[in-house]
Amino acid sequence: MPVTPDTLRALRRVRRGTLPRLLAVTGTLTALLLVLTCLALSTGDFTVPLAQVPRALAGQGDAASAFIVQHVRLPRLATALAAGAAFGMSGAVFQSLVRNPLASPDVIGITSGASTGAVLAIVVFHVGGASVSLAAVVGAVLTAVVMYALSWRRGVSGYRLVLVGIGISAVLGSVISYLTTRAEIHTAQEAMLWLTGSLGGADWDTARPLLLCLIPLLPLTVALAARVLPALALGDDTAAGLGLRVEAGRLWLVLAAVGLAAVATAATGPVTFVAFLAGPLARRLSGRGGPVLGTAALCGASLLLGCDLLAQHLPGGSGYPVGVVTGAVGAPCLLWLLARAGRVGHGGRTR
């Protein structure tokens, strides 16, 4: 059907109506991140008064406060913000591309591939540090390639991609279990700590590579999504008629989203449910049905940083891995989405 002037005017009215809400949501999330940042830099076993945090960041005032803020809390904060934003944007891209709220990297096998690569590096090759991170990135990329190839049937169907990804995730979970049960106990403990997902060991050697990788990846993903997703939302045939190389555009966008999830997982371990929750939360807050990548990145960063603060201050221990808290928060949300998908009866798509 031809697009009439009345249709275009209606679309413009809808966009103008949602823009103020989107700006308000963005401002609120930014303010929330600022509050969480202040708490992350000032609270802990060694309390730094909030008024002294700017001086500590500048290297002035008390030497102990400056060291704690600059070399202990700031790299952990930077890692949490960067990894959370990467997880959130990656999850939003996958969910929009596949049009299924279950299609996040930690459900369809991307983080399982990263985990398998990291566990292989720890258990089989007995390496650590940057080598484990590199192995995690390679594992995630190889998993994505295999998943895309197995999903190909004269094109890639979103429903088939999710099913193949879940199957691959199950297989890789078995591989991880086998490797950890065959490893020596101290090596298995190291692998299990990594698999939980933690920011406890984050330092500048962890944060710098992550930040450097995200400098090109974030704008590249946004640019690809702005070109590919609106056209694909109209259907593959219509997108091709508009001049989009459908499969090439989909593949490049998948690779960009995989890259975001891979580098974030390499820095923090497979922190579950951040990518899964950020996209739906961003759409619900903004009132838009399509992808809101910037809002999803802010939601992901807020989720990861907030859960990390909660994990550090929970009673009963000296701090928990952040993956424990995100798992406890995300599992009920996954069950709710599954129940809602079953009610609407659209193979996981929600109205």
Mean pLDDT, each 10-residue run in order, the chain (351 residues): 51 60 91 96 90 89 90 95 97 90 87 94 90 94 92 78 91 94 90 90 92 95 92 82 85 93 94 92 81 91 95 80 90 76 49 37
Whether 112 maps to a domain, the answer reads: yes
**CA–CA separation, 94 and 253 (whole Å):** 9
Whether 42 maps to a domain, the answer reads: no
Residues 245, 246, 252, 253, Cα dihedral to 10°:
130
Whether 14 maps to a domain, the answer reads: no
How big is the CA angle at 142 (ends 136 and 145), to the nearest 5 degrees? 145
**Residue 299: predicted pLDDT:** 95
**Residue 223: predicted pLDDT:** 94
Q: How many domains does the chain have?
A: 1
**Residue 17: predicted pLDDT:** 55
Domain hosting 179: range is 72-341
- What residues have CB less than 8 Å from 273, skipping those under 6 apart? 106, 326, 327, 329, 330, 331, 333, 334
Tokens of 7: 């249709």
The CATH number linked to 136 is 1.10.3470.10
**Residue 9: predicted pLDDT:** 55
How big is the CA angle at 348 (ends 301 and 241), to the nearest 5 degrees? 90
**CA–CA separation, 212 and 326 (whole Å):** 25
**Residue 45: predicted pLDDT:** 84
Whether 25 maps to a domain, the answer reads: no
Whether 201 maps to a domain, the answer reads: yes
Whether 45 maps to a domain, the answer reads: no
**CA–CA separation, 254 and 162 (whole Å):** 13
**Residue 349: predicted pLDDT:** 46
**CA–CA separation, 96 and 161 (whole Å):** 13
Whether 60 maps to a domain, the answer reads: no
Whether 58 maps to a domain, the answer reads: no
